[in-house]
Amino acid sequence: MGTDFAAFCRSRPIVSAALHNRLMRNHRRFRMAEGAELVGRQGNSVEMQVSIPLDDEGFLGRQCPECSLLFRMNAEDYKALPDDLTLWCVYCGHHAEHSEFLTAQQRERLLRAVGDLGMQMVSQSLNRAFRGLSRGSSGCSVSITYESRPFYPRPLPGISEEPLTRIRTCPGCHIEYAVFGEHRYCPVCGRLPAESVAFDALEAEKARLEALEALPGETKALLREQGGFTRNWVDTMENLVGVVEALASSLFRAAVPNADDLLRGKGNVFQRLDDTADLFVAAGYADLRISLGPDTWQRLTETWATRHLFTHNDGVVDQKYLTRVPTSTARLGQRLVVTDDMCRRALDDTKALCEALVALSP
């Protein structure tokens, strides 16, 4: 594990204020596990410092109190942030005071340290209460026996959370963080720029294709037989259109002052390639069809038509598809076949389209 990261656990007093004062005067008499120590007091609270082990990359785990998903942050970046930081969940966008983002394992470690302190505080109270009390006094019908034993804290639980696989850098604040799924937010800045989300989504689609190809032969054969590969390729086609729709809509609304007026009554206009290009041209921007060239634009048109066919007609070729893709050799009523090569080519073309859309922005 990497260097420990100091965390503070402020527990509410469980004894009287007088005992609390004695506690702080005699704190050296308490045995604390390695990684935990009393460092002072604040009002009626005890201030305890508990180290949180980092992973091998120097990252600190965070867990959203709303969706319970884990992400990680570069500990050096995290320490440099203000104490009153409001942290964002990278997945669901929930934001709250950063101490609310303790992981389950970190919380267990902190509570163990607090519990050890509490046990010793109670033991000291009992020692004082029974001090000088005679045992088995004559005339008493009850005999009280109390034996004080030294307390030895157990080692604090370690931290063994999911290791990170890819480090992200926020384009705004440049903080480093790691995620374990699709995300839309920087833990410090909040909502990520639309272009970051788009290109990340394209990388995810590429990674999914690569993961399928990397499966063992027997598993691949089983998935292929059950249609898993075909379903994945169709999903990729549908997802590519969604990526462009979200990016184009965000960029257009940010760049065009009267965007709402221009979009009123046009429905899901950013799902339609030529209509999207026409919108930007009407707003004074370059024509995407010219920027990308006729060959790329034609292939994109085929991808969009394929997506529409599977979304609305289960992939069965209709006249609308043949009108949009006049070069297709498919026949009316035939079910279209999507392949890995088609997906990879569509990914490359869609990435080029996203780059062209970003280049339109002022």
Q: What is the pLDDT of residue 7?
A: 53
Provide the 3-class DSSP secondary structure of residue 112: helix
Place of tokens 């922005």: 361
Closest CA to 67 of 102, 47, 92: 92
- What the block records as the tokens of 215 is 């499966």
| The pLDDT of residue 4 | 56
Q: What predicted TM-score, i.e. pTM, was given to this entire model?
A: 0.76
Q: Which of 61-70, 72-81, 137-146, 259-268 is the least confident region?
A: 137-146
Tell whether the model's pLDDT for residue 203 goes beyond 70: yes
Q: Helix axis angle, 228-255 relative to 217-225, nearest 10°?
A: 80
φ and ψ at 139, to 5 degrees? Answer: 90, -10
Q: How far apart are CA 359 and CA 362, in angstroms?
A: 8
Q: How far apart are CA 272 and CA 274, in angstroms?
A: 6
Q: What are phi and psi of 16, to 5 degrees?
A: -70, 165
Q: How far apart are alpha carbons 195 and 201 in whole angstroms?
A: 10
Mean pLDDT of 242-246: 97
Among the listed residues 196, 181, 199, 204, the one whose alpha carbon sits nearest the alpha carbon of residue 90: 181
Residue 358 has pLDDT above 50, yes or no: yes
pLDDT (0 to 100) of residue 60: 93
Rounded to 5 degrees, φ, ψ at 224 are: -65, -40
Binning pLDDT at 50, 70 and 90, where does residue 10 land?
very low
- Looking at residue 250, its pLDDT comes to 95
Mean pLDDT throughout 158-176? 88
- Residue 362: is its pLDDT beyond 90? no
- What is the distance between the alpha carbons of residues 298 and 53, in angstroms, rounded to a whole number? 54
Residue 20 has pLDDT above 80, yes or no: no
* Residue 28, pLDDT score: 54
Q: How confident is the model at residue 346 (pLDDT cuts 50, 70, 90)?
A: very high
Q: What is the pLDDT of residues 261-308, one digit of tens each?
A: 999 999 999 999 999 999 999 999 999 999 999 999 999 999 999 999
Gap between the Cα atoms of 288 and 323, Å rounded: 21
